[in-house]
Amino acid sequence: MVGAPRIGFGYDVHRLVSGRRLVLGGVEIPFHLGLEGHSDADALLHAIADALLGALGEGDIGRHFPPGDARYKDMASTRLLADVAARAAVRGLRVGNVDATVIAEAPALAPYIPAMCDAVGRILGIDASRVNIKATTHEGLGALGRGEGVAAYAVLVLVSAASGA
């Protein structure tokens, strides 16, 4: 094995605005608001990418995909996460599992979670059963509770690509 398993943690938050699509976990969700950002602003995939970069000891997505860089303008975050996953593969590592939580007052995300798990699993090259995504609200507290944005937390473990675990 290429060293011991490595754990990474990620967090991301984006403001909800009109005139943008709402994309979370690589899935477009029908809603009258979308997330503001340089890329498609998929807060869930950004949190997972940050967790993966953290486990690799390689900083965060802002370091690798600067928000001022025109190459990443409106880019699908599925591409950003795939690039980060490729960095792990080059080092002989793969994601063992992901656990993530999305915080959003609206829309209700439960119907979309299976598709999100499938999308994240495809991007990371792992079975969707190794991806756990939860959704919760902020109980009306603060900016998230007022429905001004969406946040996501993610934790994952990297294991040797040769490991069958």
21-49: pLDDT as tens digits: 999 999 999 999 999 998 899 999 999 99
Q: Is the pLDDT of residue 155 over 90?
A: yes
> What angle, rounded to 10 degrees, do the helices at 77-90 and 43-56 form?
20
Per-residue pLDDT band for 68 (boundaries 50, 70, 90) equals confident
Domains identified in the chain and CATH numbers: 6-160 (3.30.1330.50)
DSSP calls for 89-100 = HHTTEEEEEEEE
Specify whether the CB–CB gap between 55 and 90 falls below 8 A: no
Q: Is the pLDDT of residue 165 over 70?
A: no
User: What value does the mean pLDDT of the chain take?
Assistant: 93
Per cent of the chain over pLDDT 90 is 82
For residues 85-107, give the mean pLDDT: 96
pLDDT in tens, 109-154: 999 999 999 999 999 999 999 999 999 999 999 999 999 999 999 9
Q: What is the pLDDT of residue 1?
A: 37
Q: What is the pLDDT of residue 146?
A: 94
* Sequence-distant contacts of 59-65: CB under 8 A, at least 24 apart: 60/10, 65/39
